[in-house]
Amino acid sequence: MREPHQSDPSRSKPKTKIILHNGEMMSRGTMRLRQALLISPGMLAIILLLVLPSLSLFVVSFLSRGDYGELVMTFTWDNFKRLAGHGFFGWSADNLVIIRRSIVMAFFTTLICIVLSYPLAFFLASRPQKTRMLWLTLLLVPFWTNLVIRTYAWLLALAPEMPLAKVLSLLGIIDADTPLYPGAFAVYLGMVSTFLPFVALPLYTAVEKLDWSLVEAAQDLYASRLRVFRTAILPQTMPGLSVGVILTFVPTMGMFVVPDMLGGSRTMLIGNLIQQQFGTSRDWPFGAAISLVLMILTLSAMLAMRRNPAPGVH
């Protein structure tokens, strides 16, 4: 952004300071008024619809639940204590297990997506210009297909009548006529297929701009394949990779559709726990407390990533 040029001070001093902004002379006040007018509707909407509701979340997380699910205006730490395991029936690790499971699942989903995305990105970038558009479209279609449909589609694909379950039952891995859901396997399939394009697309844009001379130089100097990747490819694709990681890690932490449809009680994640409090349990204060913890978890993960992007990157 250009700094506004100040008018020449040696001339007779005007009462209002005249500045040059985008080729136009105006007083500083006029410019401030214009920028305020331009941003205020949008900012107002963001503040009213995102910031204030989030603050109300903060307030509600310290209230308690009445007998009929209403909010009772007393200050309490109970919701956070409950999340840490101190429930009505003594200590239980249930909620902490769910939080740990969410972090583990978000981590591994992101990792699997990265591992699958690298070959995909190089494959896309090495297609000739003519067919590349087609391959990209093939990647964009699942990316834009509705999440509920895609998750339900896995439910169909994993049904006992389908080839995948039949093959596995022939091999004796599962019993005949049992579906491959609910369970961690199905949830991982759903998660990875949902978020793969979120990693693959930014990674592709990074790979497309890759400076191959660095890769060749590394190869000429007899670097092992791993070393070529670590020193020549990884740092160059880091910008795309970090965008992909953010776009995957953040939503997987809060995901509830996929575990809800493809998983059972054993694959319950933070998102399901929150949804439960706002649905059947109608315990908003507890739900708000969990949401707050989720928000802190994702924000701290983001900050950690920004501070320390990856080894080998300056």
Partner 1 sequence: MRRSFSLLSLSAVATFVFLYIPLLCVAAFSVNASKFGLDWGGFTWDWYRKLIHNEVILKAAFNTLFLGLVSTAISTVLGTLLAIGIYRFPWRRKSLTRLETLLHLPVVTPDIIFAVALVIAFSVIRHFTGLFELGMTSMIFGHIAFQISFVALTVKARLALIGTDIEEAACDLYASYPRVLTKVLLPMLAPGIMAGAMLAFTLSLDDFVISFFTSGPKSTTLPLLIYASVKRGVTPEIHALSTIIMLLTIVCVIALQKFTYQRQQQEKQ
Footprint (CB under 8 A) of partner 1, residues 75-104: none
Q: How far apart are CA 87 and CA 93, in angstroms?
A: 10
Q: Which two tokens stand for residue 188?
A: 């991982």
Cβ of residue 192: shortest distance to partner 1, in angstroms? 8
Cβ of residue 26: shortest distance to partner 1, in angstroms? 8
Cβ of residue 312: shortest distance to partner 1, in angstroms? 21
Considering only the stretches 10-18, 28-36, 72-80, 234-242, report the one whose residues sit in contact with partner 1 under the rule CB under 8 A: 28-36
CB nearer partner 1, residue 69 or residue 92: 69
Q: At what angle do helices 234-254 and 94-125 cross, to 10 degrees?
A: 140
Here's the x/- map for partner 1, 193-232, by CB under 8 A: it reads as x--xx---------------------------x-------
Residues 259-288 close enough to bind partner 1 by CB under 8 A: 261, 271, 274-275, 278, 284, 287-288
CB nearer partner 1, residue 236 or residue 289: 289
Kindly state whether residue 233 participates in binding partner 1, applying the rule CB under 8 A.
no
Kindly state whether residue 41 participates in binding partner 1, applying the rule CB under 8 A.
yes
Contact by Cβ (8 Å): 218, 228: yes
Considering only the stretches 55-63, 78-86, 87-95, 231-239, report the one whose residues sit in contact with partner 1 under the rule CB under 8 A: 55-63
Kindly state whether residue 153 participates in binding partner 1, applying the rule CB under 8 A.
yes
Binder among 6, 16, 29, 51 for partner 1 (CB under 8 A): 51
Binder among 62, 79, 110, 154 for partner 1 (CB under 8 A): 154
Kindly state whether residue 250 participates in binding partner 1, applying the rule CB under 8 A.
yes
Cβ of residue 213: shortest distance to partner 1, in angstroms? 16
Kindly state whether residue 29 participates in binding partner 1, applying the rule CB under 8 A.
no
Contact by Cβ (8 Å): 255, 242: no
Cβ of residue 188: shortest distance to partner 1, in angstroms? 12
- How many of the chain's residues bind partner 1 (CB under 8 A)? 88
Tell me the β-bridge partners of 87.
90
Residues 112-151 close enough to bind partner 1 by CB under 8 A: 116, 119-120, 122-124, 126, 133, 136-142, 144-150
CB nearer partner 1, residue 127 or residue 266: 127
